[in-house]
Amino acid sequence: MHWSQYNTLFHTERLGHYCYNALSNTLIELDEAHYGLLEGCREGQSAPGAVEDGFLGLLREKHVLVQAGEEEDVLLVRRHRRRATCFDASTLGLTICPTLRCNFRCPYCFEASQQDGGFMSAATQDRLVEWVAEQEDARSLSVAWYGGEPLLAFDTVCSLTERLRALGLAYAKASMVTNGYLLDGAKIARLGELGIASVQITLDGPREVHDARRVLADGGPTFDRILGNVTALTDSGWDGRCDIRVNVDKRNLDGFLTLRAELLHRFEGKKLSVYPGHVDVLGDQAYDGCSCLATDEWAAFALELARRHWVFTRGGLHPADGADGTCVATRRQGFVVGPEGELYKCWTDVGRPSMMVGSIHAGETITDPVLVARYATGVDPYSDPRCRVCAVLPICGGGCAHRRLLAKYEGREDVDSCSLYRTRLQDCLESYIRVKRSRETCAALLRPGTTAEERPAWRVISPAPEQPPAPQGGARRQAPRTTTRTAKEEPCHKKR
């Protein structure tokens, strides 16, 4: 038995002693004696035989202590599962762009060059329905509406939804990404019948901040109208969830908490969440890339929100369990469909002819099998020597496939695909422990007559089923997001 390379052993004066293992995604709280035993194991000493069997059994079960080849076998199983997910054809995941045209001119938008795009024609709509029907192995269909601004083509959203649902596939709840400016009462009234269960809308700060960033094509303001539409949405009979995304960079960092507090107060008791999104232009937009937060700066921002304000970025503090690094880009039956029927593998590729993998109008749908293969297997982290020796691979899953592709095949040395856990894992875990301790203290205070229990010599304290909600009135907080993503996802540097 030897010490796993995926262990993180740490202690602080205030929080105590802990051991975390990324292979099992388990955090164990220890007393000083048991911590000392693990320090010895880390330094190469033999596993202590005099310790109670339960503790040693736990260390074996959670891969803290492993046999030769055990870690390689676990990773082999995960790699097999990743490939099975990538090549599964039973679920067709489509992100449909009925138009790439947009009524906004946001400076950081990665689609800034696609402002004059057309709308999906009737012939392309007919062919899209036929093409979906031709996918004989598909048993279910997942749809996300995207653009451009999809509400500019709302009639297409309505007609395609009706026709796609009539095909007989299991139709998962759909989602929509919109700037919210055109989301009037008539459209809100139809969301339910369209099966749209979640709507993402962006507000980039209080009015004066937002209106300096997210402007109409003629430069006009948008904040008041969007807020009015969000109010109409949450006051309607629609039973879905509204997610307010705040695109954060150095220019509007200070306004996030102000806007969040205002929105949660205004929409108390509604199905609405407010979360920060990372603006990352990847250096190919006109927007000043120096305004973007670097990976470590973003991590520091996220940790500060959690420590001081009990506000959590999507994904929470604790690593997600079972990360496999798959997304719509890596999956055989995951596509982004453009308004001319062109097919892409990643949301970020939309509108770029060089990143097309095919077309629904082509005799052979896939016209660039090399790009498909690069996304599916070429950026597989389990084949990357650097990832294979990384202590957080089991909880990272390799990070963003698009960024890995840029780095590997386009020589983009400036592109970092790693998760914040690579450099800030212990910080995240410590913040998680603080929140968990606070919850336990509050729970004890709410039980009259209880006294503080003596802490055991060791106990497993994670993973928890969900991240603790921040105290924000009656509003429901967005559930933590797993690392495994679907066609309803958003890319890490998405324009919205």
Q: Are 93 and 328 in contact (CB under 8 A)?
A: yes
Say how far apart CA 284 and CA 295 lie, in whole Å.
Answer: 17
Mean pLDDT of all residues in 372-381: 95
216/213 Cα distance (integer angstroms): 10
Given a contact cutoff of 8 angstroms between Cβ atoms, the answer to whether 10 and 426 are in contact is yes
- Rounded Cα distance between 160 and 460, Å, is 49
Tokens standing for 490?
């958003």
pLDDT at 491 over 60: no
Residues 6+ apart with CB under 8 A from 451: none
Residue 451 tokens, joined:
């006294």
Residue with tokens 């090549």: 87
Give the pLDDT of residue 41: 93
Tens digit of each residue's pLDDT (9 = 90 or more) over 171-192: 989 999 999 999 999 999 999 9
95 bridge partner residues: 144, 336
The pTM for the full model equals 0.88
Report the C-alpha gap between 54 and 59 in whole angstroms.
Answer: 9
Q: Please state the rounded mean pLDDT for residues 75-92.
A: 94
Contacts (Cβ under 8 Å, ≥6 apart) of 469: 476, 477
| Complete domains list, the chain, with CATH | 1-68+435-466 (no CATH), 85-359 (3.20.20.70)
Taking only the tens place, the pLDDT of each residue in 478-488 is: 333 323 333 33
